[in-house]
Structure 1
Amino acid sequence: MGDILIVDDERDIRELIADILEDEGYTTRLAGTSDECVAQLGTQLPSLMILDIWLKDSQMDGIDILTKVKRESPEVPVVIISGHGNIEIAVAAIKQGAYDFIEKPFNIDQLLVVIRRAMETSRLRRENTELRRTDFSTGEMIGSSATFKGLKSQLEKVTKSNGRVLLRGPSGSGKETAARFIHSHSLRASNPFVTLNCASASAERMERLLFGSEANGQKVEAGLLEQADHGTLYLDEVADLPLDTQARMLRVLLEQQFQRVGGTSQVNVDVRVISATSRDLEGEIAAGRFREELYHRLNVVPVDVPSLGERRADIPELAQHFIAEFHKTDGLPNRELSEDAAAYLQTMLWPGNIRQLRNVIERVLILGPDAGAIQSSELPSDTPADTNDSRVVLSGAVAQLPLREARELFEREYLLTQINRFGGNISRTASFVGMERSALHRKLKSLNVVTTARGGSRIATVEESEDETRQGSAAE
């Protein structure tokens, strides 16, 4: 249930408290002097401290130890106990950051109530810290494709306002990086950027995480909204926010104020909310899982974040960025990406998007040699592990086609891949495949391949093919 450090110069007192707490399922450690206490803290931080004010034969008293703990480990709650308690000591302890003050001789039931509340505070602090952790994302945007430049242009416009933004895109496509870019280039950049994964906790815990908690008119724990005051709160996968929490969040957006869980007073905040989703929120609204009013409040500025497959031209640059990042943070080899490896990465399927690419690069750096350029042979392959020759393994469907149809299918897929790889740039594609640009255009037309608005390509529909035929006839 939790590790509690009990510090008291009276052996009978600390052993009595330990027996009571161990009966309740807690793990305890004991210290009789300030030196023993410091040694215990150096071994392992407890989830909670019970600390006597007066410590005989010690270099530090309880207030000194409290000051040290709050300076070095502010996340550890400290409950002060004393047989010489008075209002001045209690006020001094609370000012130094103590969670609560209990006077000896104490009531066991009262002690247990305070311990339970303090342990809940400790758990929430650890949970908040975990939720705010990031994967080294600092808002640095990497890429040079037309699709990426369009996204970055949208984000730059958004940074100039204070409006709420809804980032829409598949999982792993870089929505949090986009949110951090908005924050770091806004007037709120010097204030906190706080993240919340809306699928990370139960409805009750989510309320405490967001709004904080209060007991007996005193703040027990600040929620993420308070921590993000004057900064930005990023709601990841907002579709998973519990319905009851959605109602409270709507009120925050309308009034910029709320009540802590268990509290009665209003807390005012100035927070910009950026939310993200990989789901269809309109569909969630129709299914009764998301509040339409909240959707309209969050969706002031919608921004679509493209998948990695829509910006294949950026893959080599992203891969090289991750190589440099892992070298800096983890000491992994700082290798270059060979041309064949870069080309191979651009032809791979990326259902996990940028997150998947990052994982692939990390795996290659860990398992590969310490020097030399990364080769395509080091990258994951969908071909059978025992295929060591140069034969092409055909699927059953392709193997049954006549040669002409199989060749058309191959050419279509090959050119689709290359056009997407080069972000829809026909000149670069033609140069790579060894064709004149005009010849490539004719080949694409014959294969019913059309370029898309985002710089990629796809197979033309029957209607589009018929339109092109009619336009050609009219021109003749």
Structure 2
Amino acid sequence: MTETVVITTDDLEPAVRLRAAFKQPDLAVELLTPGESLDDVHGEPVLLVLSGGLRERRAAALAAAARQRGRLPILGLLEATEAPDRDACRELGISECFTKPIDVEEVVLVGRRLIERERLREVTGIVGETEAMEEVLERVVQIAGVESTVLIQGESGTGKELVARGIHALSSRRHRPFIAVNVAALPENLLESEMFGHEKGAFTGAASLRKGLFELANTGTIFLDEIGEMPLATQTKLLRVLEEREFRRVGGENSLRVDVRVLAATNRSLREQVELGEFRRDLYHRLNVLRIEIPPLRERRADIPRLIERFVRQFSVEHDRPFPGIDPEAMRILEDYSWPGNVRELRNLVESMVVLAPGRTIHPEDIPAEVRFGGRGRSLLPVLAPRPPPAGAPRGEGGHPAELDFVLQTLFDMRLDLEELRREFDTFRSRGESVEGLSEYDLARYAPARVYSPARRLSPPPTEPEPASAAEDSPAAVDAADADAIVFREGMTMQELERRAIELALKRFGGNRRKAAEALEIGERTLYRKIKEYGLEA
């Protein structure tokens, strides 16, 4: 079906002007009269323009119909007397509003960019509703149509290659080759030959002529990932390709012309590498003509549920495994986690959930300890796999004892903790030192604390030892010590220990919730929820 811009006729004059301006050979335009709906459109709607704006009687109905069709961008034309209500526009799903009299060229430009942005999402699979990702998508749309080199910067796992493929897909080279090269994965002695090719007999083992990746990408796009790992000698040859559009094969005498758009990516600071002499300054400036910064996942947490939803659909089909979903508490844990591996780490975790927990809802205890506890836990598997239950054991929702996985994982973690403690004690003992006469503070430097205590973590050692007193063993003395530490007593529950830890952290930082959350190594949203749960708002 032909891609179609749909314009309502609530205000006929701007509707007619926009119809003429939007029309292109590959883009149709249809006017929607008051008695018609989106179902009456002959083509495939890719943009909806509400000529009557927020006051249009059927604006809400059309916006709802647009949402049912997926991601259909909406533009609203507002009267000069109608103050833009951003909240109302957001509720209707309107992407941009324009005040009448409109600048037709501006409306068409914005509309076409929105169409290109949705094409980009569809082609690459990029998911993102946050402002940071919207800026990335907008940047891709802006630079896709030009021929300049692009430097894509972002942490490992953020999706730099997806962005590069998006630039290629929206460019005039989209029907030409796209070749991705991981520079760090190629041995230094073979990198130049792989990129630029070699002549027969150029070196031992070169039994025949071989074209390099730049030749294979001719008239298309080449994506150089981890460009910061490229040796200086190869950087020199790459600079010549960028400046002169020509190169020589290894062992060759003649220069070859090449027409290639170069996209490069790095998870390092090339500017710092330049200062350290590890990267050519002239090549850095040649690559950094246009730049895109991809935010890490921890800076766009609102995208996590949408990413999970997409990965669940993908892997459920790929592995033919039914997957009911993730319960709200487990989803909150996933949203609060810092995701050092970014989208790649999240993708791998979701795949393990779909494969190892088919047919059952994921609960917090099914999430790896390292994610549940902010990277402080350990796990052998990405997600706990169901184990065969003993004969006659009561079965939980997943067909196995509900407590078994938790118990086994806890025992495994305890064994690792004991091994860690033994190693540290052996290290301490190997120094030939005695523990006699050492203060609690000194001992704490050698043995990892198993109980959170702000006093032990933050207070310096006493300048002079306090004289021993019988009063130290009194209940009052114990209570005073407990005021700055968490002490486990028989009968205490995990909830009581957790409540005490939060109380101490808030007290230590004067009620500053952000600092308290950092000290506890949990997300701020989790801390806010726990404060409300335990009645600690005051």
User: What band does the TM-score fall into relative to the shorter chain?
Assistant: 0.5 to 0.7
Q: 2:268 aligns with which of 268, 279, 286?
A: 279
Shift of 1:209: 0.7
Q: Which residue of 1 aligns with 2:186?
A: 201
Residue 256 of structure 1 aligns with which residue?
Answer: 245
The answer on whether the counterparts of 1:139 and 1:179 sit within 8 Å (CA) in structure 2 is: no
Alignment of 1:371-386 (within 5 A): 371-382=359-370, 383=373, 385-386=409-410
Give the Cα separation in 2 of the matches to 1:243 and 1:404: 54
Matched, 1:297 2:286: yes
Q: Distance in 1 between matches of 2:232 and 2:197?
A: 18
Post-superposition Cα deviations, 1:15-50, rounded to whole Å, max 9, x if no partner, equal xxxxxxxxxxxxxxxxxxxxxxxxxxxxxxxxxxxx
Counterpart among 453, 458, 462 of residue 396 in structure 1: 453
Deviation at 1:195, TM superposition (A): 0.9
**Cα-to-partner distance string for 1:201-228 (whole Å, 9 max, x where unaligned):** 2222001110011127997211111111
The 1:278/1:420 distance shift into structure 2, 3 A limit, reads: farther
Amino acid at match of 1:145: T
* Equivalent of residue 230 in structure 1, options 195, 219, 223: 219
Output the amino acid matched with 1:269: V
Q: CA deviation at 1:359?
A: 1.4
The aligned counterpart of 2:498 is none
Aligned residues of 1:138 and 1:177 also touching (Cα < 8 A): no
Change (3 A) 1:351 1:431: closer
Structure 1 spans left out of the alignment, 5+ residues? 1-136, 388-392, 422-428, 436-442, 447-476
- Whether 1:148 and 2:133 are equivalent positions in the alignment is yes
Residues 358 and 406 from structure 1, CA distance in 2 versus in 1: closer, same or farther, beyond 3 angstroms? same
Correspondences of 1:298-377 after superposition (within 5 Å): 298-368=287-357, 370-377=358-365
User: 2:232 & 2:354 partners in 1: Cα distance?
Assistant: 43
Residue 198 of structure 1 aligns with an amino acid whose one-letter code is V
Q: Is residue 171 of structure 1 aligned with residue 156 of structure 2?
A: yes
Q: Structure 1 pair 276/402, CA: closer, same or farther in 2 (3 Å)?
A: closer
C-alpha distance in 1 between matches for 2:344 and 2:514? 30
In structure 1, distance between residues paired with 2:151 and 2:452: 41
Distance 2:167 2:260 in 1: 14
Partner SS, residue 188 of structure 1: coil
1:146, CA displacement in angstroms? 1.5
TM-score, length-scaled by structure 2: 0.49
- 1:248-296 CA-partner distances (Å, limit 9, x unpaired): 0000001111111122222221111110111111111111111111101
Q: Deviations over 1:118-167 (max 9, x none)?
A: xxxxxxxxxxxxxxxxxxx9622101112211221111111121111101
In structure 2, do the counterparts of structure 1 residues 402 and 379 end up closer, same or farther at CA, with 3 Å as the change threshold?
closer
1:406: how far off?
6.2
Residues 407-416 or 275-284, more deviating = 407-416
CA distance 1:258–1:249, change in 2 (3 Å): same
Q: Is the 8 A contact 1:311 1:420 kept in 2?
A: no
Unmatched 5+ stretches in structure 2: 1-121, 378-408, 412-449, 456-483, 486-503
Structure 2 SS opposite 1:263: coil
SS at match of 2:128: coil
Pick closer, same or farther for the CA change 1:321–1:402 going to 2, 3 Å.
closer
Q: CA deviation at 1:301?
A: 0.6
Number of residues paired by the alignment?
289
CA 1:411–1:194 in structure 2 vs 1: closer, same or farther (change >3 Å)? closer
Q: Match for residue 468 of structure 2?
A: none
Q: CA distance change for structure 1 residues 413 and 367 in 2, over 3 Å: closer, same or farther?
A: farther
SS of the aligned residue for 1:320 comes to helix
- Answer whether contact 1:313 1:420 (CA < 8 A) is retained: no
Query: Which of the pair has the greater relative contact order for Cα pairs under 8 Å at 6+ separation?
Result: 1
C-alpha change, 1:430 and 1:149, in structure 2 (3 Å) is farther
CA distance in 2: counterparts of 1:431 and 1:405, whole angstroms: 19
Asked if 1:265 is matched to 2:239, the reply is: no
What secondary structure sits across from 2:339 in the alignment? coil
- Return the TM-score normalized by structure 1: 0.55
2:114 corresponds to: none
Counterpart amino acid of residue 142 in structure 1: V
Amino acid in structure 1 at the alignment position of 2:511 = E
Partners of 1:215 and 1:263 within 8 A in 2: no
What amino acid sits opposite 1:188 in the alignment? Answer: R
The answer for the alignment partner of 1:192 in structure 2 is: 177
Alpha-carbon distance in 1 for matches of 2:164, 2:170: 10
For 1:62-81, list aligned pairs within 5 A: none
Q: In the TM superposition, what whole-angstrom CA distance separates every residue of 1:40-85 from its partner, at most 9, and x where no partner exists? A: xxxxxxxxxxxxxxxxxxxxxxxxxxxxxxxxxxxxxxxxxxxxxx
Structure 2 counterpart of 1:181 = 166
Map of 1:139 onto structure 2: 124
Given residue 305 of structure 1, which amino acid in structure 2 is its aligned partner? I
